[in-house]
Each structure stands twice: as structure tokens, then as C-alpha cells.
Chain A
């Protein structure tokens, strides 16, 4: 088991290493001169050369890469071209926002999506199933910014016009400054993300649960005379956990590297917003940092999922 985890960690390191080469190479090929960007349009050739030397851009690419990767191993991803802050500090300052958004939304979407999926699967073809199916179809077809705008209109703008504030339009207060304020500010972004994802999880749970309920061991459970709730929630749901955690791992991994649109709609200064800004300003060190962070989250979540599978599935244990 430990050996497997170590092997997977090594594998993860190799993937991140390849990713870093890829991203680094991409920017070398991409047009635009960062020195010109920093020095300004009107800077003289001397100034430009000076900036190029300071950034180390005059050295061969492989030397630049080695400098970069050596520093990266020590947690130093360089300094932002735009505001001269270390990339690491910049990203770390954005992480709480992204973690808050994803963490809260995960809880909500699981609480909505999974039970609705179970209800659908246990009453297939009835009005309950149809309603749940229609709702999930509806939310799956919504682009996230439309749903975000709609919720803003219904839950912020309309109450505001009638003289009271139900939810704030966005912004972020630290969890350290009080749970209520934090949750109140995050409520709308959470709801937007959670409704979209809940729709997917409703379908996933429904499909998986229908399969499981047709298994012979469910019949055995009923033949034992245990109550229907116990059959569904203990024997049935237990078997869907493997699939649910796989999907959850992949989703959390990709959302942590930035839910760009939702952060934009609600003005949240998370990792996604940082990614957008740095791409717009060609802030290479930041872009590389964000991409590698995203890769890191996805690889780590997958590793976590694999470990969870061994815990969940006795057949995988040695």
C-alpha cells in the first residue's frame, strides 16, 4: 500500500515536471517580448537590454529553465512582471477565496445532487423521477454566467429594490472574521456552482444507483427482511461511493485550479481571476505558476481518489 502510494507520488512528480517543460516551452514560442512589456513602449534599447539581462532572458532557454525549476523546488516561482510581487505570495493570497468557494459548493451540491439521484433511481418513471430529471437537464444546459446573473437578479437585485439586502452581490470576507459573514458573502457563488454541479451528480447517482439496485446482493438484502431504507442507503449507496468519489476527485481538482467565470460574475479575487488577469497582461511567471498549481491539484486529487478506492473496495486490498 505504502509502496503503491510512493509510486504514484513519483508518477505525479514526473507529470508535473513534464507539464512545467511544456508550459515553459510554450511561452518561448509565443510572440511578445516581456522585456518590452515591462520597460514600456517608449523605452530606449539600452533600458530594454538592461531589463532583458535582469530577467535573465538573454541566457539560452535551457539555462532559463534550469534556473526556474531549481527555484521552483524551493517554492520560488519567480516574480510577477506586473507588480513585482513574488508569484508564490500572489497565489497563496488567492487560495483562501478559491478554497472557500469550492469547499462550500461541494457540500451543497452533494447534499442536493445525491439524494435527488437516489429518489430518481428508487422511483424510476414516476413524477418524482421526471421532476428531478427535468431540473437536472435545466441546470446542465444553463451556462454558469447566466445562472449566476439570474441568481444575482433574484436574490440580490430584486430584494434590494424593495428595500432590503437578502444577499450581498459578491465580495469576500475572511473566515477568520466570522463564519456568518463569510458564509453570507459566499452564499450566491456557492449556490451557482452547486446547482450546476448538483445537476451532474443527480444524473450520475441516478444511473449508478439504478445499476446497483438491480444487483443480486440487493435482492439478498431484501430477502433478509431489512427495511427498504436500509437496503437503499446502506447496501445500495455504499456501492455507488467508488464512482462518486472518482468524479468528485476530478471535479474538485479542476475547480481548485480556478472557476474563472463564477469568480468573474461575483467579483471574487480567487485563483481563476488571477489567471485571467495574468493572461491579459502576459505575466508569464504568474501564468506558469497558476498552470502548475492546477496540475498539482488535479494530480493530488487523483492520488487521493486512488487511496480512497483502496479503502472503499475490499477487493483491491492485498
Chain B
């Protein structure tokens, strides 16, 4: 029996630039007690859809019907909707810190839900019920923690509080909007287990929104794939994984780092999502689809149901061919870059000019001996972040530093780069001891060590042109200017897959993936000895993430760069790195060749990390001949 029937819902958001067609003609049903997943990349309309039907999008123009429990939510009065929210429909959001009010105790925030919908409940009774619920979701000493504020809880515990708040009135359905995205992998698993357990015990229907198809694979019963506001494929998750009927679903599976067990290249989806202001006629996915025909661009495909219950909107209907993984760097561009590097080297040897600071080509890039780092050393609030790290980075290595947030992996990278002084221990970078370098040598080090940061939005100055951002290291270190600088910057832009004609644009005009390419181009500008990537893809969508990972790999294959790659995600590291170092609480708990770590982890922490992050994906099977179209749902 279905609890929620959504039929032909469209959501338009009027903005200053025009109307954003956030959701278009989406229809689905959710059965009582099931876990229904909605998957899509950012901008796919998955959050807008659920917020619009629960009345949390005041400015939106919504059409269609969404019948919940016999009532159409889209024609309900605000008052009726209010009496539904929190009472019959619970909600959990992505970031548990910003989603809980920082100035009220968690207890009072839960009690507020009870007393809003059941005003006759006494304070004591409401308190008792809140504590009981907190205990159910696994908050220890709930009685004492009732009066604590959100900041006194860890991320995972906060999300448990959110779950308790959403479930305290035993709603028939909860909507979980990326409930684990902001959490560490091991915590993610715990939170998902709590959610699943609660749903089983209380018989609650769960709508789970995620950008991560593989996560839904192990959690949801059925799922809907959304793209650019359109519903592309809906069906049981086993079917989506084993016989993806839509090329986009297949693309998502191939670009997910979990997908390939070996260190094969990822297959990204080329291009990016169309603007929702001006949606193309025909299939929305056609511009990125490897199988697209003329018809796909001209006419929107009908929604059809296949014999195994999968609904899909595609002219092909059954058996999409996987896309080819193309090299990220153009062969011509690559050859030119190689020639330039050789020429520069030849010129240097011809002129006989010795470098100001020659780098020993045979020595390791960085050697770390018994490194300790304590923040606020000597004070009462001293925190020991790194507790005796030994590490050698050889030329041509690509080392993955893996650990949970707060384990010290970023701090370690910053110490190696010479940006933070060590408290004790020795760090030798390019043959010089970091503790004793002179100012001039330190400047020289900056030329040989480059960083690429996590947040492609925050790490580029929005008021400077891209050409000036990429060219800055050249201006500072080599005092280049004019045509020479411009030519080199445009070469770099081509190398990382940016259009060199966009030299004069601002970062705001680029998408997240392109911005990360800008960051990589900036890092490459000085031909560095070592490039440190600090979570370079964690802020990007899956299909874009695969493009950037492939680019990073291609660059190393072509030029033999040395990488230090920081990530919380073992699956990502596996694709880029040859060696992996696992860090827990400031100590290295395990190190070794990537394959060895994945096949035969020794440390308990590594095992836990692997269990939590690498998800089993059902093998893909060719579409069965028996699967045929059974009915056409909508044109």
C-alpha cells in the first residue's frame, strides 16, 4: 500500500535571472514501511522536490499532486501542512550542527516538537518521552545530556539527536536529506544503522535523499534517479545496479570510485548539467549521453515501464552501452607540454647557469622523522595533534594520507610543506631541514611544493581573473609578465582541460569541477617537485569527481609528479595512489602498497574504515532478453 503518491509534480523557482525549472513532471509512489531513495547530483532537484511538497519552499510555484495519507499536500493550507510536519512527516537534514539551534538545549528542542503537536502533554511527560527517544537512538546518559547544547555533541551524536527529534512523535514517514554526507565514513555507517533500525522497529517509511548511488544500494529498497529536475529511472535498487536502464544511471555507477575494484581508470560522464533556467527540448541528458541520437535532441523520451518494474525515460529503454574512458589531456597539448619541459631543461644546461638552489634528484623529496606537533604547547590547553610520525616521500611516489577528520592528516601535510613548524622531530624537505631553512631557502621551497585545496569555491579569490590567479606563482617566483606570462598560463589552462580563451574570466563563471582545474593549473605553473592535494574532490559531484581524479592520474603518468594525496575516502585514494598511509589520532597505524592495504588490512582501524567506506555493489549483468517494455506511462 502506498503512503505517498506523487503525480506529475513540477516546481518552478522564480529568481532574478529568470524561472528555474527545478523539478519537472516527476511521479512516484512510496510504499508504507519501505526505504525509498532519491539520488542525484547537486542541482538535480532532489531536495527541492521534497521541500516543495512539505511546504518548506515558500516562493516556489508547485503544480501536480502529492497525496500523503489521503490528503493532497500541494493544496493543503499552511496550517494543515504545519500539523503534518514534525507530527506525521519527520525530517532530517544534512549538516547536524547547523540544523540544530545553537542556543537551545537539545532537550528543549525535542520537547518543543512534542508540545507543539500535543499541547496537553505536561513538561515532565514530554521530557520523559524525549529522554526515552534519545536512549533509543543510542545517546548514553540521555537523562543528563538532555540539558546539553548541540555544540557539546560530536557530529554523529548530533545527527542521532536530529533523528530522535524527527522520530519522537512516531511519524509515519521521515524524509532524510543527505543525513550522512557531512559525517566521517565510520560515523556514517553508525548513523545509517540507527536510521534503518528505527525504521524497522517503528515501521516508519523513509525517503532518503543522497548524491551517492552506492550508498543507497546498501540501504534503500527502491530508488529514483534524478537529473536536471527530471526523473530518469525509478525501480528496485538491485535492478538499478545490475541492469541500469538509463545511460545516466550507468554513468553514475562507472564514475563512482567504489565501482572499480582494481586501479582501472574511472569512466566519468563528459560535460556538465544544463542550466535549469533554459531546459533543452528533447532529453535533458542527451548532451552528455554517449548513445544520443538526433531523436534524443529533438523529442523528449516517453516514460515507460519495463517488465521488471523499472520505469525509465529514455529512447533506448533497455541496454545502454558504457561510455569509453577518454584521456583527460589532449595528446597534442600533452606533447607540446613535454617539449616545453625538455626545451627548458636543455636551455638550462646549455647556458650552464646553475640554479640558485639545486635540487638533488636522487634524494627523497621529503623525510619525516619522529615528528610531533602540539597546538598551544606549554599551555594548559595543549592538544597533541601529531604523535611521532615517520614517513619518506620518494620522487615519483603518490602517497595517500587517509584518516577521519581531526586525525592530523592535513596538519602533517602542512608541516611537510613547511607551512607549520614542528614541535619536535625532524622534517627534511628537498634535502633541507625545515627547522633551519633561511628565509630565501623557504621561498625557494614554495616553488617546489604546491598545494591544491579542498574547497574550489573558497580557495580562489572571486575578484581576480583566472589568468591572474594561475599566473601569480610565475609572477612572484620568476617575475614573468606580459605575453610570456599569458602564453604560459594559456598552455597550463589547455593542459588541465580549460578553454584558454577564458583567460580573462572570473572564478564565479566556472563550475566546481572547472574551478578545481584552475587550482591544479596554478599548482602546476612552477613545475613543482611535490604537489599536495588536500581532499581535492570531496566537494565535487560524482561524475565531475571522476573527471578530476582521471586528470590528476593522467598528469602524473605524463610528467612523473610526486603526489601527497589527502583524503577521508579510501575509494578515492585507491584510484590515485600507489602507497597508502592510514592515520588515526595523530599516529600512523598502517602503511603499505595500496593493493595490499585493500586486500589484506592489518590494523583494526583500517579494517573499520574499509568496512564503512567500500560498499558492495551488485555485479552488473547484461539486460535480460525477457525484459521488455510493458506500458508507456507518459509522453
Given the contacts A220-B93, A313-B103, A215 and B98 also touching, CB distance less than 8 Å: yes
Q: Which residues 90-133 in B have Cβ within 8 Å of A in the complex?
A: 90-91, 93-95, 98-105, 112-113, 116-117
B524 on the interface (CB 8 Å rule)? Answer: no
Given the contacts A224-B113, A226-B82, A226-B116, A219 and B99 also touching, CB distance less than 8 Å: yes
Residues of the A chain whose Cβ atoms lie less than 8 Å from the Cβ of B151:
314-315
A163 on the interface (CB 8 Å rule)? Answer: no
Residues of the B chain whose Cβ atoms lie less than 8 Å from the Cβ of A216:
93-95, 98-99
Residues of the B chain whose Cβ atoms lie less than 8 Å from the Cβ of A82:
none
Residues B84 and A219 in contact, CB atoms below 8 Å apart: no
Given the contacts A312-B103, A313-B103, A224 and B112 also touching, CB distance less than 8 Å: yes
Residues of the B chain whose Cβ atoms lie less than 8 Å from the Cβ of A224:
85-86, 112-113, 116, 165
Residues of the A chain whose Cβ atoms lie less than 8 Å from the Cβ of B112:
224, 226
Residues A225 and B149 in contact, CB atoms below 8 Å apart: no
Residues A220 and B102 in contact, CB atoms below 8 Å apart: no
A227 on the interface (CB 8 Å rule)? Answer: yes
Please classify the interface of chain B as helix (H, G, I), strand (E, B), loop, or mixed, using the class held by over half of its residues.
mixed
Residues of the A chain whose Cβ atoms lie less than 8 Å from the Cβ of B165:
220, 224
Residues A223 and B85 in contact, CB atoms below 8 Å apart: yes
What 0/1 readout, one digit per residue, does chain B (28-59) give for beta carbons within 8 Å of chain A?
Answer: 00000000000000000000000000101000
**Closest residue on chain B to residue A226 by CB atoms:** B116
Residues B102 and A314 in contact, CB atoms below 8 Å apart: yes
Interface residues on A, range: 20 to 34
Measured CB to CB, the closest approach of chain B to A214, in angstroms, equals 11
Residues of the B chain whose Cβ atoms lie less than 8 Å from the Cβ of A238:
101, 103-104
The answer for the CA separation of A226 and B111 in the assembled complex, in Å, is 12
Residues of the A chain whose Cβ atoms lie less than 8 Å from the Cβ of B103:
238-239, 312-314
Q: Which residues 217-254 in A have Cβ within 8 Å of B in the complex?
A: 217, 219-228, 235, 238-239
Measured CB to CB, the closest approach of chain A to B194, in angstroms, equals 18
Residues of the B chain whose Cβ atoms lie less than 8 Å from the Cβ of A227:
82, 116
The answer for the CA separation of A299 and B91 in the assembled complex, in Å, is 46
Which residue in A217, A225, A228 is a CB contact (below 8 Å) of B116? A225
The total of chain B residues at the interface (CB under 8 A) is: 31
Residues of the B chain whose Cβ atoms lie less than 8 Å from the Cβ of A221:
101
The answer for the CA separation of A217 and B100 in the assembled complex, in Å, is 5
Measured CB to CB, the closest approach of chain A to B550, in angstroms, equals 34
Residues B93 and A225 in contact, CB atoms below 8 Å apart: no
Residues of the B chain whose Cβ atoms lie less than 8 Å from the Cβ of A222:
56, 85
B87 on the interface (CB 8 Å rule)? Answer: yes
Residues of the A chain whose Cβ atoms lie less than 8 Å from the Cβ of B85:
222-225
Residues of the B chain whose Cβ atoms lie less than 8 Å from the Cβ of A217:
98-102
Given the contacts A216-B93, A216-B99, A315-B151, A223 and B54 also touching, CB distance less than 8 Å: yes
B83 on the interface (CB 8 Å rule)? Answer: yes
Measured CB to CB, the closest approach of chain A to B52, in angstroms, equals 13
Measured CB to CB, the closest approach of chain B to A215, in angstroms, equals 6
Residues B149 and A315 in contact, CB atoms below 8 Å apart: yes
Given the contacts A225-B87, A315-B149, A315-B151, A220 and B82 also touching, CB distance less than 8 Å: no
What 0/1 readout, one digit per residue, does chain A (133-161) give for beta carbons within 8 Å of chain B?
Answer: 00000000000000000000000000000
Residues of the B chain whose Cβ atoms lie less than 8 Å from the Cβ of A312:
103
The answer for the CA separation of A227 and B78 in the assembled complex, in Å, is 10
Measured CB to CB, the closest approach of chain B to A310, in angstroms, equals 12
The answer for the CA separation of A215 and B103 in the assembled complex, in Å, is 13
Which residue in A223, A226, A235, A314 is a CB contact (below 8 Å) of B91? A223
Measured CB to CB, the closest approach of chain A to B497, in angstroms, equals 34
Residues A223 and B86 in contact, CB atoms below 8 Å apart: yes
Residues of the A chain whose Cβ atoms lie less than 8 Å from the Cβ of B90:
223
Residues A219 and B149 in contact, CB atoms below 8 Å apart: no
The answer for the CA separation of A215 and B97 in the assembled complex, in Å, is 11
Residues of the A chain whose Cβ atoms lie less than 8 Å from the Cβ of B86:
223-226
Q: Which residues 127-172 in B have Cβ within 8 Å of A in the complex?
A: 149, 151, 162, 165
**Residue of A221, A227, A238 with most chain B CB atoms under a 10 A cut-off:** A221
**Closest residue on chain B to residue A215 by CB atoms:** B98
Residues of the B chain whose Cβ atoms lie less than 8 Å from the Cβ of A235:
101, 104
Residues of the A chain whose Cβ atoms lie less than 8 Å from the Cβ of B91:
220, 223
The answer for the CA separation of A219 and B151 in the assembled complex, in Å, is 18
The answer for the CA separation of A220 and B95 in the assembled complex, in Å, is 11
6 additional contacts (CB under 8 A) given A225-B87, A226-B86, A239-B102:
A217-B100, A219-B56, A224-B113, A225-B85, A225-B86, A238-B101
- What residues of chain B have their CB less than 8 Å away from a CB belonging to chain A? 54, 56, 78, 81-87, 90-91, 93-95, 98-105, 112-113, 116-117, 149, 151, 162, 165
The 26 listed contacts between A and B (C-beta, < 8 Å) are A216-B94, A216-B98, A217-B98, A217-B99, A219-B99, A220-B93, A220-B101, A220-B162, A220-B165, A222-B56, A223-B86, A224-B112, A224-B116, A224-B165, A225-B87, A225-B113, A226-B82, A226-B86, A226-B112, A226-B116, A228-B78, A235-B101, A235-B104, A238-B101, A239-B103, A315-B151
Q: Name the 3 nearest CB pairs between A and B, nearest first.
A: A225-B86, A225-B85, A224-B86
